[in-house]
C-alpha cells in the first residue's frame, strides 16, 4: 500500500504581469504560482511592437523582470534591450563596413550596463577610419550614458533618439548607413560577483598549469643534463682507453 501524504491543499493562482509605467502599465502576460512571493525575480521577454502598438518596432525585444507586487499584479522593470538577429542580418551587406563592439559603462544612477553598438558604413572604410569611429563612439556613449539615469536610457533606446543622435555625430568622421544598439543589458550585483569568482578560478587554473609546465621543464632539463654528463663521461672513458691502447702498442 502506498503511504498517504498529509499535505495542505494549495491551489495555484493566476497573477497578472504588468509593464512598467513608461509603457502605460499594459498587460504583458499571466503566470501561475502558489505564492505571489515566488514570482519575484521571474523574467519575461516581450516584443516592443506589442508594448507600444507600433509595428515598426517589431525587431526589438525587451526583457522585463518582476520586481514587486501590487494588488495581485506583478510590477516589472526592463532588464535588457536587444534587436532580433534577423534584423541585423538584413542590414549587413557586401560592400559596407560593419563594426561590432561591446563594452561596460555606468549610468548616472550608478547602474552597470553592458552595451553592444553596431555601426554600418556606406562604403568600405580603411582601418584608421574604423579605429577612429570606434574610439569616438565609445567615448561619446560613455559620456552621454554617465549623465542620464537608467530609465531615461531605456526610453531613449526605445524611441531611437540615442541612435539617431549618435549617427549624426559619427557622420562627420565617415558617412554612415545606420547606427544601432544591438544589445543593452543591466548587470546585477550577483552576476558581477559570479563573474569575478569565475575570473579568479580561471587565473588560479592558469597558474597551476604554468607551475606544472615549469616543473616538467625543469625535470626535462635535469634529465638532459644527466644524459649529457653520462655521455661525456663515456666519451672521456673511451678516449682514455684509446690513448692507453696507443701507448701500449707503441
Q: Give the footprint of another protein on this chain (CB under 8 A).
A: 2, 4-7, 9-14, 32
CB of 15 to another protein, least distance (A): 11
Q: Which is nearer to another protein, 12 or 202 (CB)?
A: 12
CB of 74 to another protein, least distance (A): 16
Q: Read off φ and ψ for residue 35, nearest 5 degrees.
A: -130, 130
Q: Which is nearer to another protein, 3 or 250 (CB)?
A: 3
CB of 16 to another protein, least distance (A): 14
Q: How far is the C-alpha of 140 from the C-alpha of 239, rounded, in Å? A: 78
Q: Which is nearer to another protein, 33 or 165 (CB)?
A: 33
CB of 32 to another protein, least distance (A): 5
- Do residues 187 and 154 make contact, with C-beta atoms less than 8 angstroms apart? no
- Do residues 133 and 97 make contact, with C-beta atoms less than 8 angstroms apart? no
**Could you tell me which of 71, 72, 85, 81 has the C-alpha nearest to residue 15?**
72
Q: Which is nearer to another protein, 14 or 70 (CB)?
A: 14
Q: Which is nearer to another protein, 8 or 247 (CB)?
A: 8
- Number of CB atoms found within 10 A of residue 74's CB: 25
| Ramachandran bin of 160, using left for φ above 0, alpha for ψ from -120 to 50, beta for the remaining angles | left
CB of 75 to another protein, least distance (A): 22
CB of 14 to another protein, least distance (A): 7
Q: Which is nearer to another protein, 66 or 99 (CB)?
A: 66
Amino acid at each position: 500500500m502506498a503511504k498517504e501524504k498529509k499535505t495542505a491543499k494549495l491551489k495555484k493562482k493566476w497573477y497578472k504581469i504588468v509593464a512598467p509605467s513608461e509603457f502605460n502599465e499594459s498587460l504583458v502576460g499571466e503566470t501561475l504560482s502558489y505564492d505571489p512571493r515566488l514570482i519575484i525575480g521571474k523574467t519575461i521577454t516581450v516584443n516592443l511592437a506589442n508594448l507600444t502598438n507600433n509595428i515598426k518596432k517589431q525587431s526589438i525585444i525587451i526583457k522585463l523582470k518582476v520586481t514587486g507586487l501590487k494588488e495581485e499584479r506583478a510590477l516589472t522593470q526592463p532588464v535588457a534591450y536587444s534587436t532580433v538577429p534577423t534584423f541585423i542580418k538584413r542590414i549587413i551587406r557586401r560592400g559596407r563596413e560593419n563594426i561590432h563592439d561591446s563594452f561596460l559603462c555606468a549610468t548616472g544612477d550608478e547602474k552597470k550596463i553592458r552595451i553592444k553598438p553596431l555601426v554600418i558604413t556606406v562604403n568600405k572604410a580603411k582601418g584608421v577610419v574604423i579605429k577612429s569611429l570606434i574610439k569616438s563612439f565609445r567615448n561619446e556613449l560613455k559620456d552621454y550614458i554617465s549623465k542620464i539615469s537608467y530609465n531615461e536610457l531605456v526610453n531613449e533606446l526605445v524611441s531611437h533618439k540615442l541612435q539617431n543622435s549618435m549617427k549624426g555625430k559619427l557622420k562627420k568622421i565617415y558617412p554612415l548607413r545606420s547606427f544601432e544598439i544591438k544589445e543593452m543589458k543591466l548587470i546585477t550585483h550577483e552576476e558581477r560577483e559570479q563573474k569575478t569568482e569565475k575570473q579568479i578560478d580561471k587565473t588560479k587554473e592558469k597558474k597551476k598549469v604554468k607551475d606544472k609546465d615549469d616543473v616538467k621543464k625543469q625535470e626535462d632539463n635535469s634529465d638532459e643534463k644527466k644524459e649529457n654528463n653520462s655521455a661525456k663521461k663515456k666519451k672521456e672513458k673511451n678516449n682514455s682507453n684509446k690513448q692507453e691502447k696507443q701507448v701500449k702498442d707503441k
